[in-house]
Structure 1
């Protein structure tokens, strides 16, 4: 893969970290943490993008935005902060990137959909978020797609990695603390390992700067196949050498949360695969690889 000059806002998060370490050899990588780059502030965004362009040399610059406000329940009451990071931030990034002619790849979420559809969501299916978080992420998508920037939106779902907090880490901890667990079994999705997601985003970035980018500006990139949260938890128990029968199914209604969760978070890979991008490996295979990588 061609060496790039990459700016990764949110660079110390679970996805940002894997984007930084997975960049092609010889790349210039800038992966600032939120404290270093608040994408909702115009001055720092301008400075960061200009710095990327200056450091790029003969490498083509590209921004991959991994910065996001992801506290789904907290967003219900912390709406200003959620909108600042998830909507205003992408709008600023798009404006600055457009003015510098730097392409932008933005990571979004399954929460832009209602979750009411029976089958997998295609990229052009109607959106309809049911939470503040989903509403802010949709606003970020729209800001980019309407800005005129050379930009792509990539929706992911059920993301986990070695950095940060996530479902895999939570279940791993609870396995050692509890005899049994009750886990929701009426929400479906596709667990997505950040290592695989980062590889896909970097492949897309390489295609963009090479002039062979997909025509479609919205793509879905998740682990292959689908499961429920309960099925996911049982698979984690298996990787831990624990009895998966200790994970017991329950319903969403059994554990009410401030923010509504999509019952169906399965995102179709059709647009991604049709663009000639490398298909994502099955989620269960990726989970095993993630445990092997961190053992």
Structure 2
């Protein structure tokens, strides 16, 4: 739940800041509200199309065996890790430039140099970009084993919180510099990316594309993965993994090599995976 909340909050806040800057720069422009509303709706519709396409691609993989699903999930997670890293670096270098560009575009509409419909395009592209990133990042969270209920709860909370903070910044009710908000969210996203990289390795091990890595660490004595804190339902623990523990009693096919439930025949990529979550 917490992972979905952090990601959705970050993306919604970015879109809300662009919308807020555009609205602030075009106060008094006739038709501004209609153009901004149309842009938001078009961006959401485009993001929904992206989500539908991703869902179709993911469903097609599940018809070709459990090992292909594991490989597909690993590829999704690795893609999300790369995109999260690129996103954090790009926003740290170009975030202020993006805000200035949005402000200049709004001023040009207000001065009559550009037509109001440019607002719809600007807002629509911002919402589409952030919405598409949300779709991909949430698929990464789903591939890591999060439940639909937890993701829905976190996403709804993230949308509400991001919109609320964005509106507060726009209206002047909140004076926290946006760079501080993004610094905190970037740190949390970095932890999420690290956790997703570990989950991707887990799927590749299950599909026999990576060898078992042996004993790495075990902090389950302090915080278990299935605890309130470990799952992110309590205090923030994004990307947490209790540890990789090689099972001491591996005695042939059908026995789990790792410390948390589930059985899998170890005979090749086509071997079925049955059971629960497995640590990396």
Q: What is the TM-score normalised by the length of structure 2?
A: 0.25
- Relative contact order (alpha carbons < 8 A, sep ≥ 6): 1 or 2 greater? 2
Higher strand proportion: 1
Q: What is the TM-score normalised by the length of structure 1?
A: 0.24
